[in-house]
Structure 1
Amino acid sequence: MPTALGLTNDKKKTVPGEGPHVSSSTTMGSNTRLDTISKRNHAAAREMETLLWRALCDDPESLKEYIAHDCVMINPLLAPRNSCEPLSKDTEPNVVDVLQAGAGRKFHGFRIHGDPLVVEVDLMAVALVYKISLFRHGRKGTREIVATAGSTWRQTAGADWLLVQFHVQYADEDEEEDEEE
């Protein structure tokens, strides 16, 4: 029988999957319960990283909404002359300029290898590392570039996640091949 608070004292057992699932602690249509802050932060980190790469490949103008004003970055895949110089809001060029200028023209697709490793930096901050393939169209067809990436995201008071650190580096595929032999 329902109570004034909408709770029930019925002893019927509910079967998972039956009836509508109305909990707000699920993500993007999956049935994975995100019933802790930690689980929500980990899921948000993976989702934000995917959104960042989609913006980099498809809509560089939308990148500004994902990047914190104090973001720092090293990204030779996008930086002019493949520079490994650290970038910030105060460098010339700055982080947003490099991301917007290089992204859409250079890469037309991406694939994150496996599940990124995520660690909570604080209650409202996460860092993740992963391997990624980026795809570029050229005269000889599509070229795959394998890289490693790491990023740190901070959650704002309004619950938005902003990128505060981004490091992308070419993966050394030759070392992997040597280890297999």
Structure 2
Amino acid sequence: MPTALGLTTDKPATTHQPPPGAGPHVSSSTTMGANARLDTISKRNHAAAREMETLLWRALCDEPASLRDYLAHDCVMINPLLAPRGSCEPLSKDTTPSVVDVLQAGADGGRFNGFRFWGEPLVVEVDLMAVALVYKISLFRQGRKGGVREVVASVSSTWRQTAGADWLLVQFHVAYADDEEE
């Protein structure tokens, strides 16, 4: 029945429902290409954590100038893969060198050309607006004698969501991993 605004409460005679698997569900609560509904805050946080981790590594490999966009002002890190002389000293904004200095110098030096996660990173919610990840990763760089060299590492990171819905890295720990599983 039509209303004063021209809307109707009558149900259409037929509704078109696409067959299952006919294409991605179009919704703001759907992952890109995964066709999985992100209908809870927890699912959205887990998906965002994996996405942010991928974006961080892409920035490390391809766009070092964009690294600052991913870091919280109070980010702390241990990363012997990028730190000068393979140092395992904890870094922060107040150390010399700082987290930003090490990330940008390591990435600017062209240390890594690419990366590959070993399976899906494991994600745990630390709080409603914070997540932590652990995973194993392969990093690839040009070898000194040509060819590609693979470095295997284990990684732990923690991300915090801001009031503006941006995710910022607050903790980043990278360590060389044993290559026994290869």
Same topology, TM > 0.5: yes
Distance, in Å, in 2 between the alignment partners of 1:113 and 1:162 is 23
Aligned with 2:127 (options 107, 122, 143): 122
CA–CA distance in 2 between the matches of 1:99 and 1:151? 14
CA contact (8 A) 2:124 2:131 kept: yes
Unaligned runs of 5+ in 2: none
Aligned residues: 176
Partners of 1:31 and 1:103 in 2: how far apart? 34
Q: Quick one: which amino acid aligns to residue 69 of structure 2? A: E
Post-superposition offset of 1:172: 1.8
1:156 corresponds, among 152, 156, 162, to: 162
TM-score, structure 1 length as denominator?
0.87
Using the alignment, how far apart are the partners of 2:27 and 2:173 within structure 1?
A: 35
The Cα offsets for residues 12-44 of structure 1, whole Å up to 9 and x where unpaired, read as 583445688432101223211000000000000
How much identity, in percent, do the aligned residues show? Answer: 78
Letter in structure 2 aligned against 1:154: R
What is the Cα-based RMSD across aligned positions, in Å? 2.6
Q: In the TM superposition, what are the counterparts of 1:110-149 in structure 2 within 5 Å?
A: 110-140=115-145, 141-149=147-155
Describe the SS at the equivalent of 1:114.
coil
- Aligned counterpart for 1:90 among listed residues 71, 91, 94: 94
The 5 A counterparts of 1:161-172 are 161-172=167-178
1:48 aligns with 2:38: no
Q: Residue 24 of structure 2 contacts residue 33 of structure 2 at CA under 8 Å; is this kept in 1?
A: no
| Dislocated runs of 4+, deviation >4 Å | 1-13, 17-20
What are the ranges of 5 or more consecutive residues in structure 1 without an aligned counterpart?
A: none
Instruction: Compute the displacement of 1:114 (Å).
Output: 0.1
In terms of mean alpha carbon deviation, does 110-119 or 19-28 score higher? Answer: 19-28
Q: Which amino acid aligns with 1:108?
A: N
Structure with greater helix share of residues: 1
**Residue 36 (structure 1) aligned with residue 36 (structure 2):** no
1:14 pairs with one of 17, 20, 24: 17
Alignment TM-score, normalising by the size of structure 2: 0.87
Rg larger for: 2
* Pair 1:24-2:43 in alignment: no
Letter in 2 for 1:14: Q
